[in-house]
């Protein structure tokens, strides 16, 4: 977790997942299933979708998160670049959220061996009414869970497919890399559009 000069907290991570990129992104885009997939997410209701030709999907969703006795409601705007496999997100600033601000991205890179490399970064500012020690605990939990749920969900689906096909379920080889403060390493693989949107967000 990196503290930015303007007070935002930044969490960045890279995880290599034993699944193809399309399957990985299908989990990230399944907003309605977030309460079943992500610990702490109580509800996630999509209230608007818009497809913008040629290959951009905008999805707006209302989140309710509960953790350590704190409940927060946030309206989020997501923009998915289908060709670039990049999803950027921020608050829907036309609606009132409990979060002070949040902005970030998901990016999935297809690897030659059939694995996928998942990049994730988020800059967050929690409201001042939450005590500092609780804010730090909340953000710490979020950082630990940031990408693990994606790996778990893709593995669950891949295993189910193997069982249905009567095939042997292969052993898992987990490869995890964390960026820490070296965000530029993760940005090197991003499309120009995704990189520009993220760096123009709340944490810079």
What is the span of the domain harbouring residue 169?
Answer: 2-199
Q: Look at residue 194 in the predicted model and tell me its pLDDT.
A: 60
- How many separate helices (H) and strands (E) can be counted in the chain? 6, 9
As a whole number, mean pLDDT of residues 165-184 equals 48
Q: Which residues contact 25 (CB under 8 A, 6 or more apart)?
A: 85, 87, 106, 108
Q: Look at residue 202 in the predicted model and tell me its pLDDT.
A: 44
- CA-nearest of 90, 58, 60, 49 to 197 is 90
204 domain-assigned? no
The per-residue pLDDT for range 38-61, each reduced to its tens digit, is 999 999 999 999 999 889 999 999
The per-residue pLDDT for range 137-168, each reduced to its tens digit, is 888 888 888 889 999 999 888 777 766 666 55
Q: Look at residue 200 in the predicted model and tell me its pLDDT.
A: 54
Q: Give start and end residues of each alpha helix (H) in the chain.
A: 21-28, 34-37, 132-145, 148-165, 183-187, 192-199
Is 102 strand, coil or helix? strand
- Round the average pLDDT of the chain to a whole number and report it: 83
115 domain-assigned? yes
Instruction: Say which CATH number the domain at 83 has.
Output: 3.30.530.20
DSSP of 174-203:
-EEE--TT-HHHHHTTS-HHHHHHHHTSTT
As a whole number, mean pLDDT of residues 60-74 equals 94
Residue 102 confidence (pLDDT) above 80: yes
68 domain-assigned? yes
Structural domain total, the chain: 1
pTM beyond 0.85: no
Q: Look at residue 44 in the predicted model and tell me its pLDDT.
A: 97
């Amino acid at each position: 977790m990196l503290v930015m000069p303007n007070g935002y907290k930044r969490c960045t991570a890279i995880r290599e997942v034993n699944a193809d990129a399309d399957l990985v992104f299908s989990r990230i885009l399944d907003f309605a299933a977030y309460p079943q997939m992500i610990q702490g997410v109580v509800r996630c209701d999509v209230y608007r979708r818009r497809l913008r030709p040629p290959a951009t999907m905008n999805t707006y969703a209302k989140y309710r998160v509960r953790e350590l006795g704190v409940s927060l409601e946030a309206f989020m705007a997501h923009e998915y670049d289908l060709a670039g496999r990049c999803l950027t997100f921020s608050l829907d600033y036309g609606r009132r959220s409990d979060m002070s601000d949040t902005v970030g991205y998901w990016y999935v890179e297809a690897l030659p061996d059939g694995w996928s490399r998942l990049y994730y970064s988020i800059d967050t500012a929690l409201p001042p009414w939450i005590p500092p020690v609780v804010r730090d605990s909340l953000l710490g939990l979020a950082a630990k869970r940031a990408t693990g749920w994606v790996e778990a969900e893709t593995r669950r689906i891949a295993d189910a497919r193997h069982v249905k096909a009567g095939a042997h379920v292969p052993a898992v080889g987990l490869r995890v890399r964390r960026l820490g403060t070296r965000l530029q390493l993760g940005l090197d693989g991003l499309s120009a559009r995704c990189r520009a949107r993220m760096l123009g967000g709340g944490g810079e």
